[in-house]
Structures are given as C-alpha cells and as structure tokens.
C-alpha cells in the first residue's frame, strides 16, 4: 500500500489510523532478495516450482517468553492454550541460549509476543535482552498490555525497537475491569506509554512506533468513541483497529451480525467527527473477513523458512497456527540450540507436511498474514510486482514478517 485510498486487500495485513505502508505484505520481498543476493536462493528454481533449500536463518522470530498474564481479557484468544501450557515461563538459561543463536544467525526481527505478557517475564528482563541485540543486524518489536511498560524505558532498549503494539480495549478503570477483570491498570498503561515517549524525545530516538491496537469485542464495541478519545489523549504514535475473532472453540467474543451493523455505524460517525478518511475508505476491510480467497498449496513462509515461533517451553514451530501440535514441532530448545534445530531433518519434514496439508487444512482462510506474503512473493517471481527500493526498508518495518 502506498499513500491514501483504498488498500489492496490481497496484500494489506491491517489498517492504521494514519496511512502507513508497514502492514503491506510487500516487505517479504526484501527477505527473498536477501536470499537471492547471498546465493542461498536461486531465482530459476524458485520460478520453476522445485523445492528450494531452507534459508540458513529465519528472517524473523516470534518469542513467547511466558504464557502467563496479569489480566484476563474476555477476548483473549490464548487462554485455553496458555492453560494447557500451564502458564509456563521460559527459564533464563534457555533465553540466553536462544539469544545466542539469534545473534549468531543474524536474525533480522525478534518479536516478543503477547498472549502471555512478555513484560512480566523475570520482572521486565526482556528489556535487557533487547538492549543487547546487535543493532547492525537486528531489531525488536513487541505486543504488550503495557501495565509494566516502564521496564522498557532505557534508550538502548528503545533504540533497537521498531514497534510496540499496546492492547487497548477500554477507556477508564471501570471499563478496563469489565473487559480484563482487574483494576488500577489503565492509568499505568497511559503513564508508561507517556514515559517511553519521553525517553524517545529526550534521547532523540525516532522509534519505536508505539501504537494503540484497539481490540473490539462483544463487550466494548459500543465504546468506540471513548476508547478512541482515550487513545488520542495518551499520545500513541498511531492507532490500529482490530475486531477480535472467535479463535478458540467455545469462545464467543466476535461481534454478531447485528453488532457489526451497529459498529459500522459508530465507526462511520467517528470517521466523520474526526475526519478519519483513511478508516472510512477502508471500512469494509476493517469489518470484513480476514481470510484469503482462492486455494493455496504453497506457503513461501514455510517453504523458505522465513519465520519461526518459539514458545515458553522451548518448542519451535514454523507455522503459527500449528502450535501445540507435536507433529508440527520442529524441535525443542530443552534438547538442542535454535541454530541446530533450524534446517534440520525434522524442520524439512514438517515444512513439507505443512504445505502438503494446506489445501485440506484451509489455513489461508483464517487470515494468516503469511498467505498474503506468499501471494506477493509469487507475484514478484512472475514479474507482476517489483522488488522494493532499499530506502523503503525501514518505513515498511521490513525487519518483521
């Protein structure tokens, strides 16, 4: 996506309040170009459909330091999963070894993920790991509830961060309690966001972009204006809007069709009141199904090895939605280091199995962003889309896929 106007739904992953191109799937092209330039990939083989070797490093890695969280949001997609993992936290020695591998491999983006709150791990120690990332090769990103966000308030940590996505779903203490079951948090969130903005300003640091990710569920969909006003008052760099999904069985948090009609109306009124033209133009995208149309039997993310997911118990996966299924686990950091697992026999077997089963699993229908990246890579290989200029690398947050 470039500039204003309606987005190309085939390649856009989400919509920000202010148009940004960093949620376009095109950034995956940098990873392919890097593989071609380094000789790890061969253009002719990519085009003729033969299975390439896995890349020697994943481009980006998502780490779940802990499955525990200090709040209980009604819309949390991970509660059952976290319970199954017994709210496990990674031990510090494993985290050290993992970061040793990431450094050695030159992984480009390290994302510390929520669903489990990364900042409660060892009382905010993740900030220290980020401050020690190699700034020549690597950047960090994070999804957090920001209740203990002050642990990131170190210029060396923030200098290495590209984005922080803050979960926003309420506008005062009472509404926060209704959604997340805990009081005294929302003031801390606001205070911590302002603190990080202050550290950025005082140290002349451009990033990270600290964004409100407004999560809309059945409980809070009537509060859109209040939540939006609160987000503006806090001083986020950008505001994203996301309707939650019923990811887990038995979870009923996504808007009903009647609620969707009401929400559309209040979103359009908000757009009129604050001249949010970009949201208005893309209202169908915001409210629409996130899945991909068509049938896919190829996933470049899995085929090339662009991404990895590392869970708190050390399990490593190469396709997010397959977590927790032993047959898709490519290894466990309890027994081997990450750089030893990567590219090994189990990894190759699982990558092939994931792709072989794509059509029957229909993974592309759930809105996995990687299918959009796959489409973009395929379009580039067939000459329909250009590879991107180097000077757009940063603005597209291309460290992260």
Binding test (CB under 6 A) with ligand SF4, winner from 52, 321, 324, 367: 321
For the CB of residue 62, give the shortest distance to ligand SF4 in the complex, in Å. Answer: 11
- Nearest approach in angstroms of CB 346 to ligand SF4 is 17
Three-state SS sequence of 112-133: ECCCCCHHHHHHCCHHHHHHCC
Q: Which of residues 144-203 bind ligand SF4 (CB under 6 A)?
A: none
Binding to ligand SF4 (CB under 6 A) within 350-369 occurs at: 354, 358, 363-364, 368
The number of angstroms, rounded, from the C-alpha of 226 to the middle of its chain's C-alpha atoms is 25
Here the tokens at position 119 are 């900042």
Q: Which is nearer to ligand SF4, 152 or 358 (CB)?
A: 358
Q: Between residues 104 and 325, which has the closer beta carbon with respect to ligand SF4?
A: 325
- Residue with Cβ nearer ligand SF4 (200 or 296): 296
Q: Mind giving me the DSSP string for 9-31?
A: TTTB---BSS--STTBGGGHHHH
Contacts with ligand SF4, 201-230, as mask; x by CB under 6 A? ------------------------------
Tell me the C-alpha to C-alpha distance, in Å, between residue 103 and each of 42, 130, 339: 25, 11, 10
d(CA 60, CA 166) in angstroms, rounded, equals: 20
99-107, 141-149, 299-307, 334-342 -> range binding ligand SF4 (CB under 6 A) = 299-307
| DSSP string for 194-219 | HHHHHHHHHTT----EEEEEEEE-TT
- Decide if residue 28 touches ligand SF4 (CB under 6 A): no
CA angle (307 as vertex; 335, 321 as ends), nearest 5: 85
Number of residues that bind ligand SF4 (CB under 6 A): 13
Q: From the CB of 25, what's the least distance to ligand SF4, in Å? A: 11
Question: Where along the sequence are the contacts to ligand SF4 (CB under 6 A)?
Answer: 299, 301-302, 319-321, 354, 358, 363-364, 368, 370-371
């Amino acid at each position: 996506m470039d500039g204003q106007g309606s987005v190309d739904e085939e390649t856009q992953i989400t919509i920000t309040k202010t148009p940004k191109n960093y949620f376009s799937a095109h950034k995956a092209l940098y990873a392919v170009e890097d593989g071609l330039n380094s000789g790890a990939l061969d253009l002719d083989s990519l085009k003729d459909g033969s299975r390439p070797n896995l890349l020697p490093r994943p481009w980006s890695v998502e780490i779940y330091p802990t499955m525990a969280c200090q709040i209980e949001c009604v819309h949390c997609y991970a509660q059952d999963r976290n319970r199954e993992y017994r709210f496990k936290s990674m031990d510090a020695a494993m985290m050290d070894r993992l970061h040793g591998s990431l450094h050695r491999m030159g992984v480009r983006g390290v994302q510390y993920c929520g669903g489990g709150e990364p900042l409660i791990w060892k009382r905010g120690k993740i900030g220290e790991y980020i401050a020690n990332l190699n700034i020549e090769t690597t950047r960090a990103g994070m999804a957090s509830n920001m209740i203990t966000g002050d642990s990131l308030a170190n210029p060396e940590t923030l200098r290495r961060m590209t984005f922080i996505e803050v979960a926003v779903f309420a506008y005062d203490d009472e509404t926060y309690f209704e959604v997340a079951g805990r009081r005294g948090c929302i003031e801390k969130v606001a205070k911590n966001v302002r603190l990080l903005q202050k550290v950025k300003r005082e140290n002349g640091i451009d990033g990270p972009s600290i964004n409100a990710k407004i999560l809309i569920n059945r409980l809070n969909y009537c509060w859109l204006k209040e939540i939006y006003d609160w987000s503006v008052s806090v001083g986020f760099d950008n505001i994203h809007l996301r309707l939650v999904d019923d990811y887990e069985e038995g979870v009923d948090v996504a808007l009903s069709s009647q609620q969707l009609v009401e929400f559309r109306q209040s979103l359009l009124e908000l757009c009129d009141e604050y001249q949010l033209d970009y949201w208005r133009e893309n209202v169908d995208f915001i409210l629409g199904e996130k899945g991909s149309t068509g049938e896919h039997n190829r996933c470049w993310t899995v085929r090339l090895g662009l991404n990895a997911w590392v869970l708190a118990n050390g399990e490593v996966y190469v396709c997010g939605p397959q977590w927790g299924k032993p047959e898709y686990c490519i290894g466990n950091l309890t027994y081997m280091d990450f750089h030893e697992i990567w590219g090994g026999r189990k990894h190759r077997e699982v990558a092939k199995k994931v792709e072989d089963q794509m059509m029957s699993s229909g993974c592309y229908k759930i809105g996995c962003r990687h299918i959009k990246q796959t489409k973009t890579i395929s379009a580039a290989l067939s000459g329909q889309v250009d590879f991107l200029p180097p000077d757009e690398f940063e603005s597209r947050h291309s460290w992260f896929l």
